[in-house]
Structures are given as structure tokens and as C-alpha cells.
């Protein structure tokens, strides 16, 4: 079955993942400022970042096992994006370091949940003769969305607020999850 450009699975997962990465990148360079705004220190910003990484690292194994057990891996990606969306929405309510720690665990779980399924889908749909090019496109997209996200995040927080940025981050994750949900079964 030939799949047209509009329904190219690699293109779909790269675009939807780039939207989630764009959202995530908005907070990256100004995260410590947010922690300071809620009364935290630089050390607490580092601690919450470490908690995110540990929760993601521990959950990746579970995400991989779940991905292998579910035939429709796109649903694992959708759930992961939805969990990240929830985490970004919860960021609008963060007033203490303890709550931020919990939110970082949630976001870490969301990322770790979807990433093995995403990688599996990418491998499944990649063109075996052009895997290097396709992974190169994904890697390039990662850096470009990180750059654009960093600028957008700084602009939004400077002009509006952290809360506005968190709502936009959540909306972008929701859009990606919803779009993948709408993709026909025969395509992804």
C-alpha cells in the first residue's frame, strides 16, 4: 500500500513530536527563574530537574514493556502526550517546591511513557534505505524546535506570564495527542 505525503507515518510522528518538543523547550532556559518566582533556590531547581530525570529513567522500562504489549502503539504515544499535557496544566497551579516535585514526576512519567512507543513507531515506519536521513531529520527538528521554543517561552513570560506559557505548552501537547488520535488506523 502506497501512502501519500499527507498520510506519511514518519512525517506525522515527527511533526506531532516536534510540537511537544516545542512546548517542552519553552520552559528549559527559564526554568530556574520560575523556581525562584515560587520561592525556590537554584539548588531546588536542580533537585526538581533531577527528580524529573529519575522518574523518567525509572518509567522508561515500564513504558517500553507497555509499548510492546499494546498493538496500537499510537495510543501509548497519545497517553504519554496527555500525561505531559496534564503536567503542564498543573504547572499553572505550582506555588511550592513540593508540588513542583510532584509535577516534575508526572511530566517525567509522561515523557518516559511515550518515548519507547514513539521510537518503536519511528523504527517501524522508517525507510530502511534512508534511516540515517530520517533520523537526521528528527534530530535536526529537535534542535530547531528547542531554539524556537526557548525564544517563544522567553517572549511569552516577558510579555504575559508563566501561567500563559504553561497553558500554551499544555495546548500544544493536547493538539499533538488529538491529531494522532484522529490519524486513521491504516496509516499509523
Domains, the chain, in order of start with CATH, read 23-182 (1.20.1250.20)
CA–CA gap between residue 24 and residue 173 (Å, rounded): 9
Q: Is 158 helix (H, G, I), strand (E, B) or coil?
A: helix
| C-alpha torsion angle, residues 120, 126, 131, 133 (rounded to 10) | -120
Q: Where are the alpha helices (DSSP H) in the chain?
A: 9-27, 31-37, 42-69, 73-91, 97-125, 131-159, 162-182
Residue 136 burial (10 A CB sphere; 0-12, 13-18, 19+): exposed
CB 43 within 8 A of CB 188: no
| C-alpha torsion angle, residues 72, 51, 49, 135 (rounded to 10) | -30
pTM: 0.91
pLDDT in tens, the chain (188 residues): 344 455 689 899 999 999 999 999 999 999 999 999 999 999 999 999 999 999 999 999 888 888 889 888 999 999 999 999 999 999 999 999 999 999 999 999 999 999 999 999 998 998 888 888 888 988 999 999 999 999 999 999 999 999 999 999 999 999 999 999 999 888 88
Amino acid at each position: 500500500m502506497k501512502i501519500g505525503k499527507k498520510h506519511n507515518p514518519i512525517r506525522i510522528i515527527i511533526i506531532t513530536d516536534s510540537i511537544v518538543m516545542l512546548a517542552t523547550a519553552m520552559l528549559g532556559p527559564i526554568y530556574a527563574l520560575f523556581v525562584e518566582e515560587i520561592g525556590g533556590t537554584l539548588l531546588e531547581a536542580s533537585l526538581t530537574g533531577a527528580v524529573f530525570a529519575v522518574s523518567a529513567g525509572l518509567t522508561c522500562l515500564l513504558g517500553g514493556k507497555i509499548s510492546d504489549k499494546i498493538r496500537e502503539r499510537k495510543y501509548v504515544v497519545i497517553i504519554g502526550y496527555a500525561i505531559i499535557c496534564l503536567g503542564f496544566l498543573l504547572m499553572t497551579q505550582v506555588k511550592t517546591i513540593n508540588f513542583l516535585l510532584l509535577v516534575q514526576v508526572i511530566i517525567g512519567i509522561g515523557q518516559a511513557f511515550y518515548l519507547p512507543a514513539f521510537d518503536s513507531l519511528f523504527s517501524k515506519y522508517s525507510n530502511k534505505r534512508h534511516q540515517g536521513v530520517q533520523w537526521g531529520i528528527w534530530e535536526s527538528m529537535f534542535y530547531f524546535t528547542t531554539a524556537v521554543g526557548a525564544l517563544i517561552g522567553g517572549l511569552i513570560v516577558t510579555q504575559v506570564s508563566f501561567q500563559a506559557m504553561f497553558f500554551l505548552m499544555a495546548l500544544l501537547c493536547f493538539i499533538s495527542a488529538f491529531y494522532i488520535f484522529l490519524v486513521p488506523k491504516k496509516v499509523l
